[in-house]
Structure 1
Amino acid sequence: MIHFRRVSRAFISAWALCVSASAFADEPVQTAEEPTPYDVIIRNGRVLDGSGSPWVLADIAIKDGRIARIGRIPGRADHEINAEGKYVSPGWIDAMDQSGEEILANGLAQNKLAMGVTTLIAGEAGIPATADKIGDYFGTLRERGISVNFATYYSATQARVEVIGDTSRAPTPDEMCMIRGKVETAMEAGALGLTTALIYPPGVFQTTDELVEIVSAAAPYDGIYATHMRDEGANLLAGIEEAIEIGERAGVKVEIFHLKAGYRPGWGTLMTDAGKLIDAARDRGVDIAADMYPYTAGGTGLDVAIPPEIFAGGPAAAFEKLRDRAFRAKLIERIRNDEFGEWSKANVVVASGGWDGVVLADAHSATYEAYAGRTIADVAEALGEDPYELAIKIVLSAYPKRAFGFFFMMSEEDVRTALRFPWTSIGSDAGISVDAHGMPSGDLSHPRANGTFPRIISEYVRDNPVLSLAEAIRKMTAWPASRHGFNDRGILREGLPADITVFDLATIKDKATWTDGAAMPVGVEHVFVNGVHTLRNGQHTGARGGMVLRGGGAASISRGQAAKQQSPGVRRCE
């Protein structure tokens, strides 16, 4: 207890001086002993530390790439930003990025930084390198320089294809040993864990038992099993149950990619039931969570409307069969008669309410590019075609590229329900734009590529509130960082790397739409990546201060490390 009668006059005078100084927020206090200059001071910001706590008024000083001090900061820096009235948070983390190849082509990642994102977590389809070359892949990124931090999963399907090729058959015991060796190699090179995309061939041919055996090879490295589930529609709950089973049996954490209730007849109920199922698993100790994007349509290839058994012999053989008009006619008849077992229930065209709910986005074909932005049903009527026949023709015309569509499977109510789950994080399910200006390529891009993170703040915090601002920031920072083992990211603490996003709550807004997916957002003013000022007043500075972040069996590697890490050799089976 303080005895006020004993407080000295000197103490009172010092206290009065501090109170007087605090009234001049824009004027750094000069002390008798000048502090070490900082590289940057962000002053007067409403600081959200990422933990979910409310904002506090504070300055943040950056020195040598790290947060040197948070609070009332005397002294000056080489560069100062007045963030009065603005919010300052940890850099935002894209928990489901698709930039494994794109980051090689465009390390500047303009569209990601414009959204306030400083860290990408990629790998749904794996890594664009074989297991024994992952170290080289990471080395290339470091040598070229990247503007964002980048981490990635390896794919269980990729490991399988590296050993047995693009086929529907099961691996032999010897081949399984080799597949597991690929996983070990990938984990030691720095993969975060293993992914699956179980609606696409050849992943669709992998059984639960096979996946358990493959994924368990990542368990000693604290790997994560992250999955685009077998069904996100009518059988959503069964898809979640399979993911939980794989995680429990393999002894790893589970991450559900782009959680959605993609089935019109289940709107309003399926997402609530999914939340209860995941909550129940968490209650019994299963470390499971999910990411999501805030849109009512998914975006994927039109080839998902073709039953996967057609691809059992690989894509080349499948497209050869599909070129036969009689084969297509019989196939379409079988689809309409629901003759494809579980796939018939998971058919995303049915989930979208039919071809009226599927929009042609990118035909990759001069024959059909003029129809971008129209539903397949509308285009079919205009051309006098059966919509399924037309969709297959568009797929064939694009091959070997992939014709792309928007599938309006979800409801706004279910998006809002999923956002309220405390264990959901935010992932765009989109990649870096690859042209010289950071713009999306193709006819139409999904608006999530340029709008996801500003949309969370503008739509679901400010305009039509679902989340508090502090909770939205937690979902985009501390929570995904913790889930993926990045304990020095996603939080504002002294001594940690300075990944920082400064934004204006009053003006932040996603501008990308279904008809103009290239429109860039507004309201993100400054972004620092490892202390490097990478977005200044909304404009990319050209800086490449990003790092390769490695998980599993390896540690994070910073930019500028002298020796390029090499992956260990692939394991040999007896």
Structure 2
Amino acid sequence: MAILIRRGRVVDPDSGTDAVLDLLIDEERVISAAPRIAPPNGATVIDAAGLVVLPGFVDMHTHSDFTLQDDPAAEARLHQGITTDVTGNCGFSPFPLPAGCIGFGSFFNSRITHGWPDLDSYAAHLRRQRPTVNIAPLVGLGAVREHVLGPAPRPPDAAEAAAMRRLVEQALEQGAFGVSSGLVYTPGRYADAAEIRDVLAPVARAGRLYATHLRDERDGLVDSVAEAISTAEAAGVALQVSHHKALGRANWGRTRQTLSMIDEANRRGVSDVAVDYYPYTSGSTGVSSLLPDGSLDGGWTTLRERADESAERLRLLRHLESSAQFRPDEIIIGRSRTWPEASGRALQDLAGTDGRTEVEALLKLILDEGERLTMIVPAASEDDLAGVSAHPTAMHGSDGWLMTAARARYEHPRNLFSTIRVLAPALLGRTSIIQAVRRLATAPARRLSLTDRGALRPGSYADVVIADPARAARQPDNESAHSYPDLMRWVFVNGQAVIEDAKPTGRRPGQVLRAS
């Protein structure tokens, strides 16, 4: 059935449009946009006077491939106007993994009990769950390494390197939009630059993207950006620097240098480098990033066994107290299953509640829950965030993964409000709406060569958002993880209304997209 959206302010950076227009949708596509369109027979007419009509948002950095199959209605996505999730980031994807692989990516609150051998099998599984939003998958090099080497902390031999390249090539042939690495996580941290360059060879041949969670976002930030750029240039691939920021007060301001390095790389023209960001100065990650190097060699079971010994336990406590990348007084605990009353609380508030110090409470949580435990921690400065978000290559990526408000409770607010923090100021006239929508929709779509998404021109897929500027001022500024934002009045995915008059419709028309 045709849908006519009447008298809305249509904002489309792809065509440079910002005007009051009618927009006609038929089947999955936008048919036309013009000052006055006569409604076809039987068309549904939506009066959008006073509202803003936008292309559906493409979230450049998510981990919803670990959670979407359990919550396919994806209300946390819809209420943010997100119609396409880019998955498989930071080296994590649920494929290609051996069937017996359990716990990979578990800190995404994943309920996946096994991996899939390739993208085709994972996509078939996800299609059976009928997700509401589209998925544009990357393949995680951490998953590739896990498939071939398991958790072994060593370089691959020649046969193993060839096997890794074949897995990457297979994923690209099956439509993956590129690959990602997570060089701070196990097992990605064991991959040196030479290994990454080698495994990127199929990516270069296919003309796809390489996204990376840098090896170090703290003291080694500049060196890590240099490594990423040189790796991409040597391999001949486009580079996406994920959630770019400078961690730790001593490093604030260093993004000015790293952004200059990116500008210089783009001027050389050897590689195409861009960044994504989420609009918060705090971040969220798994607790393994607090542990000393080598602690997880052999896995969590080995760590727990070693931690029973007094000398190893004392070493861990001393590291957590003075040498970990975040101080105990900076940490807010995410959802805890073994100690529910700790959920959402600052670690320092837990000290003494059961006779433990801060670091003793933290070590207990780490050992009891392993990688499933997340934390919210300080990350960037406001000045760094402003600089990164204003960079010409910048695009939004929430780094979110939770699909419902109930599951997002106690977790980082970016799961529910990330796009709102970009769009609401633009709707209020405080920032450029063209630039906001470019970062939310157009730039990510173009980065993935999704030429028929992230736009409202005739022929584009009808991923459409209708937002209400009158509601922009009352959106939660940051932390309410108990409810959804109500900025979006209508959201369409592939021509079907999934939000209607600010309420979910229950339709689930999402697709697993494939790179061409």
The alignment's TM-score, normalised by the length of structure 1, stands at 0.82
Map of 2:386 onto structure 1: 416
Q: What CA deviation, in whole Å up to 9, does each residue of 1:92-141 have, x standing for no partner?
A: 11111111121111221111011001000011243313274321211222
Given that 1:511 and 1:519 are in contact with CA atoms closer than 8 Å, whether structure 2 keeps it comes out as no
- Distance (Å, rounded) in 2 between the aligned partners of 1:317 and 1:223: 38
Classify 1:531/1:122 alpha carbon distance in 2 versus 1 (closer, same or farther; 3 Å): same
Pick the aligned partner of 1:428 from 395, 398, 417.
398
Supply the AA of the counterpart residue of 1:143: R
Pick the aligned partner of 1:176 from 113, 138, 161.
161
Residues 154-233 of structure 1: pairs in structure 2 closer than 5 A: 154-233=139-218
Given that 1:503 and 1:523 are in contact with CA atoms closer than 8 Å, whether structure 2 keeps it comes out as yes
Q: What CA deviation, in whole Å up to 9, does each residue of 1:514-560 have, x standing for no partner?
A: 4x423211211111111111110111111111111112xxx3xxxxx
Q: Is 1:113 the equivalent of 2:78?
A: yes
- Distance (Å, rounded) in 2 between the aligned partners of 1:154 and 1:474: 25
Given that 1:46 and 1:58 are in contact with CA atoms closer than 8 Å, whether structure 2 keeps it comes out as yes
- Distance (Å, rounded) in 2 between the aligned partners of 1:90 and 1:302: 37
**TM-aligned CA deviation for residue 160 of structure 1:** 1.2
Q: Is 1:280 the equivalent of 2:264?
A: yes
Given that 1:93 and 1:490 are in contact with CA atoms closer than 8 Å, whether structure 2 keeps it comes out as yes
| Greater C-alpha Rg | 1
Q: Is 1:56 the equivalent of 2:19?
A: yes
Classify 1:417/1:179 alpha carbon distance in 2 versus 1 (closer, same or farther; 3 Å): same
SS at match of 2:420: helix
**TM-aligned CA deviation for residue 334 of structure 1:** 5.6
Map of 1:67 onto structure 2: 30
Q: Is 1:40 the equivalent of 2:9?
A: no
Map of 2:420 onto structure 1: 454
Given that 2:409 and 2:482 are in contact with CA atoms closer than 8 Å, whether structure 1 keeps it comes out as no
RMSD value, Cα: 2.0
Map of 2:484 onto structure 1: 520
Supply the AA of the counterpart residue of 1:519: S
Classify 1:54/1:493 alpha carbon distance in 2 versus 1 (closer, same or farther; 3 Å): closer
Classify 1:207/1:360 alpha carbon distance in 2 versus 1 (closer, same or farther; 3 Å): same
- Distance (Å, rounded) in 1 between the aligned partners of 2:118 and 2:263: 39
Supply the AA of the counterpart residue of 1:358: I
SS at match of 1:158: helix
Q: What CA deviation, in whole Å up to 9, does each residue of 1:486-511 have, x standing for no partner?
A: 11111111111111101012313543
Map of 2:467 onto structure 1: 503
Supply the AA of the counterpart residue of 1:281: A
**TM-aligned CA deviation for residue 274 of structure 1:** 2.1
- Distance (Å, rounded) in 1 between the aligned partners of 2:295 and 2:255: 31
Map of 2:111 onto structure 1: none
Map of 2:407 onto structure 1: 441
Supply the AA of the counterpart residue of 1:83: A
Residues 252-401 of structure 1: pairs in structure 2 closer than 5 A: 252-267=237-252, 269-285=253-269, 286-333=271-318, 347-349=324-326, 354-365=327-338, 368-380=339-351, 382-399=353-370
- Distance (Å, rounded) in 2 between the aligned partners of 1:443 and 1:395: 20
Classify 1:296/1:64 alpha carbon distance in 2 versus 1 (closer, same or farther; 3 Å): same
The alignment's TM-score, normalised by the length of structure 2, stands at 0.91
Identity among equivalent positions (%) equals 29
Map of 1:478 onto structure 2: 442
Q: What CA deviation, in whole Å up to 9, does each residue of 1:390-445 have, x standing for no partner?
A: 2121111213x521110112222322222111211111111142xxxx33426502
Give the length in aligned residue pairs.
Answer: 492
- Distance (Å, rounded) in 2 between the aligned partners of 1:385 and 1:265: 30
Pick the aligned partner of 2:234 from 243, 246, 249.
249
Supply the AA of the counterpart residue of 2:505: T
Structure 1 gaps of 5+ residues are 1-37, 339-346, 556-574
Given that 1:202 and 1:312 are in contact with CA atoms closer than 8 Å, whether structure 2 keeps it comes out as no
Classify 1:334/1:397 alpha carbon distance in 2 versus 1 (closer, same or farther; 3 Å): closer
Supply the AA of the counterpart residue of 1:160: R
**TM-aligned CA deviation for residue 171 of structure 1:** 0.8
Given that 1:200 and 1:308 are in contact with CA atoms closer than 8 Å, whether structure 2 keeps it comes out as no
Supply the AA of the counterpart residue of 1:88: V
Supply the AA of the counterpart residue of 1:355: P
Map of 1:560 onto structure 2: none
Given that 1:52 and 1:473 are in contact with CA atoms closer than 8 Å, whether structure 2 keeps it comes out as no
- Distance (Å, rounded) in 2 between the aligned partners of 1:443 and 1:75: 43
Given that 2:4 and 2:24 are in contact with CA atoms closer than 8 Å, whether structure 1 keeps it comes out as yes
SS at match of 1:212: helix
SS at match of 1:97: coil
Given that 1:50 and 1:90 are in contact with CA atoms closer than 8 Å, whether structure 2 keeps it comes out as no
